[in-house]
Structure 1
Amino acid sequence: MAHATDNGLQWTLRRNCSVTPAQLWWTYGLLCAVSLAVAGFFWWQGATLVLPFAALELLAVGVAFLFYARHAVDREQIRVSPGLLVVEREVAGRVSRSEFPGPWVEIALSREAGQLVEVRSGVRSERVGRYLRADLRPALARELRRALAYG
Structure 2
Amino acid sequence: MSHTNSAVRFTIASSSGGQGPQVVQWLLKRNCSVTPVQLGWLYVSLCGVSLGIAAFFWSQGVPLVLPFASLELLLVVAAFWSYARHATDGERIVLQGGQLVVELESAGRLERAEFNRQWVRVEPKAGDGSLIEVSGQGQSVKVGRHVRPELRPALAREIRQALRGC
Question: 1:122: how far off?
Answer: 2.9
Structure 1 stretches of 5 or more lacking a match?
A: none
The yes-or-no answer on 1:63 pairing with 2:78 is yes
Q: TM-score, normalization: structure 2?
A: 0.85
Q: Deviations over 1:53-108 (max 9, x none)?
A: 10010001110111111111110000011100000010000111110011111111
- The residue type equivalent to 2:124 in the other structure is L
Q: Secondary structure of the equivalent of 2:122?
A: strand
Alpha-carbon deviations, 1:106-128, whole Å to 9, x = none? 11118xx9611111113211110
Could you tell me which residue of structure 2 aligns to residue 135 of structure 1?
150
Q: How many residues align?
A: 149
Residue 85 of structure 1 corresponds to: 100
Moved over 6 A (4+): none
1:34 paired with 2:49, answer yes
1:41 Cα deviation after fit: 1.1
2-structure distance, mates of 1:114, 1:73: 24
**Structure with greater proportional helix content:** 1
* SS of alignment partner, residue 103 of structure 1: coil
Q: Which of 21, 24, 34 matches 2:36?
A: 21
Identity within the alignment, %: 54
Match of 1:109 among 124, 131, 135: 124
Q: CA RMSD in A?
A: 1.6
SS in 2 for 1:11: strand
1: distance between equivalents of 2:105 and 2:135?
Answer: 20
State the TM-score, normalized to the length of structure 1.
Answer: 0.93
Tell me which residue corresponds to 1:124.
Answer: 139
Question: Corresponding residue for 2:12?
Answer: 3
